[in-house]
Structure 1
Amino acid sequence: MGVVIPLEEGKNKSASIKPLVDLTKADMDRVNQLILSKAGSDVQMIPEVANHLISSGGKRLRPMLTLASAAMFGYQGEGHVKLATSVEFMHTATLLHDDVVDESDLRRGKSTARMIWGNQASVLVGDFLLGQAFKMMVDVGSLEALDVLATAAAVIAEGEVLQLSVAKNMETTEDDYLSVIRAKTAALFAAAAEVGPIIANADKASRSALRSYGMNLGYAFQMVDDALDYGGKAADLGKNVGDDFREGKITLPVILAFRRGTQEEQAFWRSSIENGESSDENLEKALGLITRHDALKDTIARALHYGKIARDALAPLPAGPLKDAMMEVIDFTIQRVN
């Protein structure tokens, strides 16, 4: 089940994160070693739960951005590896908590940790990873970097609560949606990109540029994810198509289709989302309405808009392979819908 989303703008069809992967490979090997070390514990269930998600094949884009943004300004030291690992632990903890809140069964094509070990273990192991992340931040010794990542952790938690408050509420506006994804996704991308220039002692303009890049890349990333839930394939998503619909999540494709719909169509959305009438038949109808009202096309158009802002944010920074690779990540992020 799914629909084809036509991409415009003449985008680079071969966009890849491989240049970024190659440029950060040596440091990412160290990050991966540190991840395994810091996920260890004498309490047997902790590494079992943590490694279940850590080893499940995520791209680890966020820690690569931390490594790349530090290297861009000539950083020499060990701090970027610890901060990149902290970023990945924050992300992993968020996923563990998300799956409990959302009652998700699949994550990256595998059963979620909560389905195997239960909700309590998932939440507590997420807390353990957050604790380890903050210990590594302290080890780095940069109060500025610690402040950026600690603030992001608080914002992410706020985003989770905000998402709960708007779930299954068809009065949710596009501004409400933007507030949720800014907190839940964009904030960590922004922090991951900003702490690199901080520990490299880059100037404030460069630090702000990387933060803007990360923030707007995060917006684009989440919008594409939300489009994929209605326009992708289960094999590519690592979860079931329509999971957001079944969970009553108010994402941008739903908001646009609802706002543009007839009274009869709006009544359908209310019964499906607010009353939980999310049968396969209703999902098919929802996909039809989303297509009819160009909701996926316009969601991707908005993602392209934020991608352009991210590109403009990087523009003033020194030219080089790292900058080129980070530019290409923008195209890759949006190209996932093709």
Structure 2
Amino acid sequence: MLTLQHVVIAYNAYTVVKDVNFALMPGQIGCLLGPSGCGKTTLLRAIAGFEQLKSGSISLQQKQVSSAQKHLNPELRQVGMVFQDFALFPHLSVADNISFGLKRASKAEKADKVRELLQLVGLPNLGNRFMHQLSGGQLQRVALARALAPEPKVLLLDEPFSSLDADLRESLARDIRAILKKLKITALLVTHDQHEAFAMADIIGVMSDGALQQWATPYELYHKPANRFVADFIGRGVLLPGTVLADNKVAISLGAFSQSYNTTLAQGSRVDVLIRPDDIVHDDDSPIAAKIIEKTFRGSHILYQLKLKSGEQVQCLALSHHNHAIGEDLGIRLDLDHLVVFPA
């Protein structure tokens, strides 16, 4: 449904997007995830038709819409867009906002479409309200309904939940995912929030400095990061120094562990091993203990910052039923099903 091949976007001598390649199948929900300034929104705007390409190509339904020589105008691409600030008209009602893009439809057709979409986005009785009468979550649903009204082939969402609080962001992302799946619409989301990305997307592209670092499922990004940037950005952790042993085992200060992540490393090689907070389990019966130097209460869990006897620091995400004090020793063990290893 959507294909990008070797896409490069530049402003004069400054290259913003560097040789990006990916594709979305019909009905698939993708996400461009990365920090501010990494080029993800510029890429989204290029797909919509608001930015020109320096080189490469963008195709919709296997028809080229952008290249260095060709540029199809946004209104001809059958692409819908939900903007970061919603971009709704304050002087129009909810119903009139939704029907705004239905220029060729009759009054009865518009009314039917608005009724159908309001039902779909969970706002069945709010058609006559104005924007100042709605909550942030309701405004987002109106923006989605307006983007869906012309029945786009691809829906683009630019940081659509950034103005909402954290709990609402994740729940709304799940709701919108369910709507898009029901309609079998191909969509591409841009966000800097990995929780949003995981809640909504089938496949995610992590971007940094204009380049696509990895294009993979959420599971693969977390357990099989392509490089250090992805490993650090997805489910943050720390890197502990280690040494490769025989039979693809790795020794670190917490013990020796099997790994299948990087099988090309020679025995004796120095490596860095990624340890995430959920890799370390609180266990009072463990012979290994670490001193608590910081703690952050997170409701059901407490995130402990721990100092090992080696002087290295790790984090442990433990259930908050047992509340340990700063300065205490905490018994820990490693639960490493997927050991992520990089050359030192």
TM-score by length of 1: 0.28
Q: Which has the higher helix share?
A: 1
Q: Which has the higher contact order (CA 8 A, sep 6+)?
A: 1
TM-score by length of 2: 0.28
Greater Rg over alpha carbons, structure: 2
